[in-house]
Amino acid sequence: MTAATQAGPNATPLPYPATRVLGPRLVDGGLDIVVPSWRATEVTLCLIDNPRSPDQRERRVPLFGPDQGVWHAHIPDVHPGQHYGIRADGPWDPDAGLVFNPNKLLLDPYARAIDETPRLGPELFSHEVDDNLASRNTPRTPDQRDSSRLNAHAIVVNTTFDWGDTARPHIPWEQTFLYEAHVRNLTRQHPDLPEDLRGTYAGLAHPAVIEHLTSLGVTSVELLPIHAAMTEAALTSQGKINAWGYSTLAFFAPDPRHASAAARAAGPQAVMNEVKGMVKLLHAAGIEVILDVVYNHTCESGSLGPTVCWRGLDNLTWYAHDDETPIEITDVTGCGNSLDFRHPEVIQMTLDSLRYWANEYHIDGFRYDLAVTLARGQHGFSPDHPFLVAVKTDPVLQGLKHIAEPWDIGPDGWQTGGFPLPFAAWNDRFRDDARSFWLANPRAESHGHPGVSARDLATRLSGSADLFASQSPGRTPLASVNYIASHDGFSLTDLVTYDQKHNRENGEDNRDGHDDNRSWNHGREGPILGLESDAIVHQRRTSERNLLATLAFAAGVPMIAAGDEMGRTQRGNNNAYCLDSPVTWINWRLEPWQRDLLATTAAMFRLRSQHPALRPTQFFTGNPKDDGVPDLAWYDAAGQVVGSWQWDDSSFRTLQMLRRGPAPGDRDALLVINGRAEPASVMLAPPPPGLTWELVGDSAKPTPEETPAGPTAPEITLSPLSLRLFLSTA
């Protein structure tokens, strides 16, 4: 081994039940450490002095164990700021899935902070690789080089923080408006932020950003992963990074890449405090913080990937393997490995991580990436999986928001609607059906192909009962997280600007990213500069407003991707995960049309917030109220109730949706939709007795101010491919 070593301080074993609390804890002037590993024969704590210097040394402390699968000790005289790592020895038998190698300094899977991201090199692999990180032989030979200078070091930190009198906002689901954002991309180019705060946790909580969020009506920020992450080898070889962070290195440590330069210079404790300060300021503004968490896989890639943590501690426990060939890791995530949620240790680590972020960082909820992987048991996905039951019953987690990305790439991997309470779920059917109605179908018709009816759009607008009403008792439309665009795929503006993806900058010859985008360039590929009066540009802007209005006025919980409210573009890139550049940074210097779009978006979601008819909390029954008008009714362009045969008619693309206010005094809503490429004459559906309709929104108008106020005539003409919203008035 190349690291200079010496004997560590005298350690003592931990008593039961202290051995059941995994991870590091500062206790009585020293450190309690508990590390899980069933199959190791020896586990050593390495206290690192003079880290990252030519004189780096390790004080090695053998841990006591194995004790029911854990190794543990109390080490005296260990204080905040101490660097440390783990070494694990045991069998080397790759064919059996065992790859213990004590030459590799491992990151504690429960590390609360790290000093830096690992630097990928041959030393990080437990088996021998060449300079290009390719395996030298089969069967694999253990690598003898020490990895302590390349791998991340865990840091002992003090978790104390002054939260003052700030409290969680506890936004009810029916009032929730989600804003999906990447810490760096959101603020990197914000002109009102000091340069040193742009692209940072502190920058996200700057008053200028908070003012933007509150003026838009956002209640909950959903942050792309902020767990410490590591870039995979394929990107490193191209000089790129995993900018989105879906490659987790540490499930308990914040990513120092998003901290301010001052915090990074001050050390991991300052990074931790900057994250907490961000949460504190957002809470003070009434905004929740929801984390996108990646518990389905880790940064260690497939069987031939690096060894930075879990693989070196107990490969067979952490990762799902092929039972017949344990050397091969099962991959249902598309990322090289899958954490094995059939094992209690994996479930425990995930729950411990969730509780830690909830308790220590006051996080309000979690969005689970590829959540089907987290609920795979012996026979595939199960809505009664122990992990899902634990989240529902855990006293810390049960009161928070939980959002599933309800798919992975394994067998039966699409489970939209399949997750039980308390989980809401991203509704990809809403995304696809809204795009199809407003973009893909008109595009097809413009090329002479037949269209489709409004049936699917109507189902999504009314709450997606086909997906969420039956599979889990007690669910409501609020289980559906509706969205048009997210971090993954085209931005809203790119949806109306490009027919094809343009991912050349990703370095994969445009092979990566979705091909089923359901987008429409409206007749010309790419941006049209300096021609804001051009008919194509006008159609594009109207289509953006149609999609945003569909999102704002649909039953369910709306989510918007950061920047879509003001026309962000990624230049046609629909998979910009490896780009940290102006392609992904939101441009806050807005053109007039972008300011108009921002004002329109804010107005739409303000209407949603003000009127309960636009955010129902229960599925509709179709039953009449006391005045004889149902809680939900559909009408055609002639003002007649839609017949069952019309839903199957491909030409039926002009319709009206009447939704009643849930309580006396609430205004009723009428959404009138023209999905055809020519103007439509519409006889408005009759309002409830004693009421009239008032126009409050028109997607054909560039700004809210251009919508005429006052009572509306019973017969109107809708512009091509547009919609209008009416509210009842006495």
Look at strands 632-636 and 654-659 and give their pairing.
antiparallel
Looking from the CA of 371 toward its CB, the CA atoms found within 13 Å total: 26
What are the beta bridge partners of residue 59? 6, 47
Q: Is 93 helix (H, G, I), strand (E, B) or coil?
A: strand
CA dist 73 and 61 (Å) reads 9
Tokens of 402: 């939980």
Q: How far apart are CA 669 and CA 657, in angstroms?
A: 8
239: CB partners within 8 A, 6+ apart: none
The neighbour count for residue 695, using CB atoms within 10 Å, is 20
* Amino acid in position 363: I
- The Cβ of residue 591 has, within 10 Å, a number of other Cβ atoms equal to 12
Question: Pairing mode, if any, of strands 83-89 and 154-155?
Answer: antiparallel
Report the alpha-carbon distance of residue 605 to residue 491 in Å, rounded: 19
Do residues 631 and 659 touch, judged by C-beta distance below 8 A? yes
Point out the catalytic residue in the list 405, 408, 494, 668.
Answer: 405
H or E element in which residue 487 lies: none
From residue 648, how far is each of 71, 111, 454, 456, 645 by CA, in Å?
64, 57, 9, 10, 6
Q: Specify whether the backbone of 452 is left (phi greater than 0), alpha (psi in -120 to 50) or beta.
A: beta
If phi > 0 it is left, if psi is from -120 to 50 it is alpha, else beta; for residue 334 that is: left
Is-catalytic flag, 222?
no
Instruction: Let me know if 162 is a catalytic residue.
Output: no
Please count the other Cβ atoms lying within 10 Å of the Cβ belonging to residue 571: 18
CA distance 645 to 667: 31
Using CA atoms, how far apart are residues 202 and 58, in angstroms rounded to an integer? 34
R_g (Cα) of the chain, nearest Å = 28
Burial class (CB within 10 angstroms; exposed 0-12, middle 13-18, buried 19+) of 592:
exposed
- Of the candidates 238, 185, 245, 182, the one whose C-alpha atom is nearest the C-alpha of residue 582 is 185
| Residue 139 and residue 256 in contact, taking contact as beta carbons nearer than 8 Å | no
Give the DSSP letter string of 254-276: E-GGGS-HHHHHH-HHHHHHHHH
Q: Which residues of 217-255 are buried (b: 16+ CB within 10 A; e: fewer)?
A: bbbbbbbbbbbbbbbbbebbeeebbbbbbbbbbbbbbbb
222, 232, 369, 565: which one is catalytic? 369
Contact 156, 24 (CB under 8 A): yes
User: Which residues have a catalytic role annotated?
Assistant: 369, 405
